[in-house]
Amino acid sequence: MKHLIDPMDLSKEELDQIITLAEDIIAHREKYQDSQRYKKLSTLFYEPSTRTRLSFTSAMMELGGNVLGFSDAKSSSVSKGETVQDTVRVVGCFADVIAMRHHIEGAQLYASEVSRVPIINAGDGSHSHPTQTLTDLLTIKRELGHIDGITIGFCGDLKFGRTVHSLIKALSRFKDIKVVLIAPDELKLPDYIKQDVCDKLGISYKEVQTMEEVMPELDVLYMTRVQQERFLDQDEFDRVKDSFVLDCAKMALAKEKMAVLHPLPRVNEILTEVDADPRAAYFRQVENGKFVRMALITKLLEWKDDPSHGMPEGEEPVYDATLRCTNAKCICNNEHAPHKFRRSDNGTLRCWYCDSKIK
């Protein structure tokens, strides 16, 4: 069965099928309005969300299906101590597909190991956010007409920003992508993405200090919010919170056809004066999120019983009783998930669930 936990769970063909279907949904909305009648999506949100949860809900409603779930785990049996694995076993008796957001990294991967219905990762800690990635890819395609060959600048919180991690991974499925990383030292992209994604999969990247020096090169500028809730140290947050701000003066340096994306919510990293610029694509991006989730739900339900659309054959997990994942926000330190690992090509061991480096 196909779940969407990590962007790399989708092959390039599957990714293209989802984007193509989303474009068809946009062109012929009436054709799809009853297509998932009697099907149920469950939204299990253990972490705050406006856009993503409502986007999933409206996507399923536009397909003619129903939605059940919770937006506050305190109102569910989680408050009695139920594990995510038990919760998805239970919810799988009611729903055909589950969208889950969790503050614990790897929670959805762990849940998918026992689920009898497809699980969609709607964000796990600062780790992954693959449906935002689908939204971003569809937006780039619609704004620029193509994804291959783009130069994309990621600006802001590249350390904790899960949307950035997932989009860079997915871009490795496209040709001739150039990535520019614009972040203060404290918020740089984690090494595992640089090594295991960019270096291994051939995405060229460079790190720069200012937005001004790269604005003229960019086809896409991907702005992000500094993720206050993921900082362990308030002083560190205060030092970096106003690092990079996009305004009209910086937009004046950019290409005429550049697209500005932002997963939202924004705080102060894009001034509202930029909103009127036709290159500001972030509110169009929100709507694309609904269309691409309609396509994703449709495809996962179609692929559910099709053995040719399973999870990718990955490497075998490594078990070593002497090693433990040290990430306090990983599922294996919060529930009885086993401490298991994956070995990268360069010999590094990483946690199976959260990708933290073990040794």
Q: How many residues does the chain have?
A: 359
Residue 102 interacts with ligand NCD (CB under 6 A): yes or no: no
CA distance 123 to 267: 19
The contact pattern for ligand NCD, residues 220-249, with x = CB under 6 A and - = no contact, is -----x-x----------------------
First-to-last C-alpha distance (Å) of the chain: 32
Q: In whole angstroms, how close is the CB of 263 to ligand NCD at the nearest point? A: 4
Q: Which alpha helices (H) appear in the chain, and where do they start and end? A: 12-27, 29-32, 51-62, 84-91, 107-112, 130-144, 162-171, 191-193, 200-201, 234-240, 248-251, 282-303
Q: Which residues on neighbouring strands pair with residue 313, listed in sequence order?
A: none
Residue 162 interacts with ligand NCD (CB under 6 A): yes or no: yes
Question: Which residue of 39, 51, 89, 324 would you call a contact of ligand NCD, by CB under 6 A?
Answer: 51
Residue 52 interacts with ligand NCD (CB under 6 A): yes or no: yes
Residue 263 interacts with ligand NCD (CB under 6 A): yes or no: yes
Residue 125 interacts with ligand NCD (CB under 6 A): yes or no: no
Q: Which is closer to ligand NCD, CB of 99 or CB of 358?
A: 99
Place of tokens 């919770």: 70
Q: Which is closer to ligand NCD, CB of 109 or CB of 358?
A: 109
Question: Which residue of 121, 132, 139, 151 would you call a contact of ligand NCD, by CB under 6 A?
Answer: 132
Q: In whole angstroms, how close is the CB of 14 to ligand NCD at the nearest point? A: 21
Contacts of 223 (CB under 8 A, 6+ apart): 155, 156, 244, 246, 260, 261, 262, 266, 269, 270, 282
- Burial class of residue 192, CB neighbours in 10 A (0-12, 13-18, 19+): middle
Residue 129 interacts with ligand NCD (CB under 6 A): yes or no: yes
Concatenated DSSP letters of 289-353: HHHHHHHHHHHHHHHTT-GGG-----PPPEE-TT-----TTBGGGTSS---EEEE-TTS-EEETT
Residue 264 interacts with ligand NCD (CB under 6 A): yes or no: yes
Q: Which is closer to ligand NCD, CB of 2 or CB of 129?
A: 129
- Count the residues of the shown chain that bind ligand NCD, applying the rule CB under 6 A: 11
CA distance 59 to 347: 42
Q: Which is closer to ligand NCD, CB of 76 or CB of 163?
A: 163
Q: In whole angstroms, how close is the CB of 34 to ligand NCD at the nearest point? A: 28
Q: Which is closer to ligand NCD, CB of 65 or CB of 130?
A: 130
Residue 121 interacts with ligand NCD (CB under 6 A): yes or no: no
Residue numbers at the binding site for ligand NCD (CB under 6 A): 51-52, 123, 129, 132, 162-163, 225, 227, 263-264
